[in-house]
Amino acid sequence: MESRQRGWSPKALILIGLLLVSFVGRIASLSVTVNDIECVYEYVIYEGDTVSGNFVVVDHDIFWATDHPGLDLIVTSPGGNTVHTSKGTSGEKFEFKAPRSGMYKFCFHNPYSTPETVSFNIHVGHIPTEHDIAKDEHLDPINARDARHRHTNESTRKRVVFYTVGEYIMLAAASALQVVYIRRLFSKSIGYNRV
């Protein structure tokens, strides 16, 4: 008797491998091909947010000679002011505080005409300040409303308990009256049974 082992076919393994590779490619950072000047935009919601990121030129050792000046990164705020600059590098990490909210422009400049592929990450983080955190005077109306709701719940609970106890007493009284009435109907003292 032949034992046949079940396993993954080579075609299925290749398909799964290609799907995994394409998924990993989507997880990676934004890639931009820079010929002359290429810009990427990112919206910052809050003033004072920390904007951080990094970029690296992919496979720059293959195309660059030792005298290649590198790429320039210029970050411009919504008002047109330069917030961050890095000159002539093949990769760098950066971080700055956003002076105001709005659309920030990240421009890469390639001084040579050879196209360069840049892998680029941006992260905008908001750290709450004491102005964003609720203070006690903001919580006073909430505490007052909470006390009103608590009082309403307690009074409603007391009424429900009293009504339930009253209902049980009325049920017990009605049952007792029924027993007395039925016994009276079948008692010998009443002259219904005379022969």
Q: Residue 147's domain spans which residues?
A: 136-190
179 compared with 8, residue with greater pLDDT: 179
**CATH number of the domain that residue 97 is part of:** 2.60.120.680
What is the rounded CA–CA span in Å between residue 61 and residue 22? 25
Within the chain, strands assigned E span 30-34, 37-44, 50-57, 71-76, 82-89, 91-97, 102-109, 116-125
Q: How many domains does the chain have?
A: 2
How confident is residue 160, by pLDDT bands cut at 50, 70 and 90?
A: very high
Same-domain pairing of 84 and 103: yes
119 compared with 167, residue with greater pLDDT: 167
Q: What is the predicted pLDDT for the residue at 71?
A: 83
**Predicted TM-score of the model (pTM):** 0.49
Which tens digit of pLDDT belongs to each residue from 163-188? Answer: 999 999 999 999 999 999 998 888 76
